């Protein structure tokens, strides 16, 4: 639907509008969400665009405030030369931001407060969605699995690869739980017309995480996986196209943060290559990046050298979005007995 912000037609805001809330020609829908946006960015660029008199507003935010990309870099993929101490530091920094009342709690509260005047005064509802744990943490099956992307990383760069150990997976899941607790606290404090959708347990019950027990990773297309791996292709997608280098990415986005780390590594180690399982790096384009810089200032874009399917790693797949949509509808049905929701609903997603 919008490549610059990774909005797509099977995300939960869109399927709420097109399916789960019923077929109503009077309903309007704004879709403003943008991947990688922090709550500050949402406040600055999305809230001002909201219509007035909104019936239903969904907000997905908070995870980028605590530093998801540094964790993915330092603990999982090592896009740019990370080691054990970097991973530990990234997790500790994220924990500090979660537990500091002047950080995540304040940011979400400000976002809710700024959105509230846009809502219908009688029945407007705001839903804040949480996060699911990314990893199964019931056994040691992934302890010897590394998703470090560079070939000969230890030899060429002189740093050890990160592995998906039980300790790391448990720590990251605990961090997600902590984020959800803060989001729950902020929504509870905002009053009865602000609700929290916590789907963490459902994804766990559905075995939708990476490294579920008895699953040997990578397993990008297994039935039931709720998150994208780098080689995941959904039914009907062109897997060949996903393995090619796609469009450059907007500065500040989740994808741009990955691209900048990759480009920095290639500036220092131009001969490095990805491990074959992670796809093909566009070295022809890398030469152009080196000559012209990593940013296209005219269009405010970051050069993208990876296969396109990397743009959505650690994001929910359609079945994960369906879980959120169904939980939200179930909650609406439980609390809204009037006919307000069946006629002329205006729905918005941040």
Q: Which residue has the tokens 């760069």?
A: 157
pLDDT at 346 (0 to 100): 65
Contact predicate 265/305, CB 8 Å:
no
The pLDDT value recorded for residue 338 is 56
Mean pLDDT to the nearest integer, 108-125: 95
φ/ψ of 224, rounded to 5, equals 100, -15
- State the pLDDT at residue 337: 65
Q: Is 48 exposed, middle or buried (0-12, 13-18, 19+ CB in 10 A)?
A: exposed
Question: pLDDT class for 343, splitting at 50, 70, 90?
Answer: very low
Q: What is the mean pLDDT of residues 73-82?
A: 92
Apex 52 CA angle, 50 and 55, nearest 5: 95
Domain coordinates of the chain in residue numbers?
3-229+316-349
- How far apart, in Å, are the Cα atoms of 169 and each of 159, 174, 209? 21, 9, 11
pLDDT at 291: 72
In this structure, of 19-23, 159-163, 338-342, the range with the lowest mean pLDDT score is: 338-342
Whole-angstrom distance, CA of residue 108 vs CA of residue 61: 8
What is the residue-averaged pLDDT of the chain? 89
- With cut-offs at 50, 70 and 90, classify the pLDDT of residue 297: low
Hey, which bits of the chain come out as E strands?
28-31, 56-60, 125-129, 194-197, 249-250, 295-296, 301-302, 346-349
Confidence (pTM): 0.91
pLDDT grade for 251, boundaries at 50, 70 and 90 = confident
The counts of H helices and E strands in the chain are: 12, 8
- Tell me the per-residue pLDDT of 181-207, one tens digit each, with 9 for 90 and over: 999 999 999 999 999 999 999 999 999
- Percent with pLDDT over 70 in the chain: 94
> What is the structure's pLDDT at 247?
84
Greatest mean pLDDT among 134-143, 275-284, 301-310 lies in: 134-143
Highest mean pLDDT among 80-84, 158-162, 168-172 belongs to 168-172
pLDDT classification of 84: cutoffs 50, 70, 90: confident
pLDDT at 270 over 60: yes
Mean pLDDT of the region 19-46 = 88
pLDDT of the residue at 342: 47
pLDDT band at 172 (very low <50, low <70, confident <90, very high): very high
Tell me the CATH number of domain 3-229+316-349, given options 3.40.50.1110, 3.40.50.300, 3.40.50.1700, 3.60.10.10.
3.40.50.1110
Reported as type and span, the H/E element at residue 334 is helix 318-335
Q: Is the pLDDT of residue 313 over 90?
A: yes
pLDDT of 50-68, one tens digit each?
Answer: 999 999 999 999 988 998 8
Is it the case that residue 115 has pLDDT exceeding 60?
A: yes
Q: Which of 1, 4, 6 is nearest to 228 (CA)?
A: 6
Q: Out of 28-32, 34-38, 49-53, 139-143, pick the least confident.
A: 34-38
**What tokens appear for 321 in the block?**
């979005």
**pLDDT number for residue 153:** 84
Question: What residues are paired with 301 via a beta bridge?
Answer: 250, 296
| CB contact set of 90 (below 8 Å; sequence gap of 6+) | 67, 70, 71, 73, 74, 75
């Amino acid at each position: 639907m919008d490549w610059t912000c990774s909005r797509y037609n099977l995300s939960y805001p869109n399927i709420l509008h097109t399916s789960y809330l019923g077929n109503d020609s009077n309903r309007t829908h704004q879709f403003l969400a943008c991947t990688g946006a922090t709550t500050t960015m949402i406040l600055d660029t999305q809230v001002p665009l909201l219509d007035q008199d909104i019936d239903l507003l969904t907000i997905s935010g908070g995870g980028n405030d605590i530093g998801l990309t540094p964790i993915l870099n330092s603990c999982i993929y090592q896009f740019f030369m990370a080691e054990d101490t970097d991973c530990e530091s990234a997790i500790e920094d994220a924990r500090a931001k979660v537990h500091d009342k002047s950080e995540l709690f304040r940011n979400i509260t400000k976002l809710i407060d700024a959105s509230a005047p846009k809502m219908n005064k009688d029945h407007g509802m705001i839903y804040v969605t949480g996060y699911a744990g990314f990893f199964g943490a019931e056994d040691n099956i992934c302890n010897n699995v590394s998703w470090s992307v560079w070939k000969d990383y230890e030899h060429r760069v002189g740093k050890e690869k990160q592995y998906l150990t039980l300790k790391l997976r448990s720590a990251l899941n605990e961090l997600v739980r902590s984020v959800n607790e803060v989001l729950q606290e902020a929504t509870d404090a905002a009053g009865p017309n602000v609700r929290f959708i916590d789907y963490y347990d459902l994804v766990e019950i559905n075995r939708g995480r990476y490294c579920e027990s008895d699953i040997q990773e990578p397993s990008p297309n297994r039935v039931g996986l709720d998150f994208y791996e780098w080689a995941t292709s959904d039914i009907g997608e062109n897997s060949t196209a996903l393995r090619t280098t796609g469009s450059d990415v907007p500065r500040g986005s989740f994808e741009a943060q990955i691209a900048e780390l990759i480009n920095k590594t290639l500036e220092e180690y131009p001969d490095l290559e990805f491990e074959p399982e992670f796809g093909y790096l566009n070295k022809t384009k890398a030469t152009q990046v080196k000559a012209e810089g990593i940013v296209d200032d005219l269009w405010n874009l970051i050069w993208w050298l990876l296969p396109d399917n990397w743009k959505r790693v650690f994001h929910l797949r359609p079945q994960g979005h369906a879980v959120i949509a169904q939980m939200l509808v179930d909650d609406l049905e439980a609390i809204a007995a009037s006919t307000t929701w069946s006629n002329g609903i205006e729905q918005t997603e941040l």
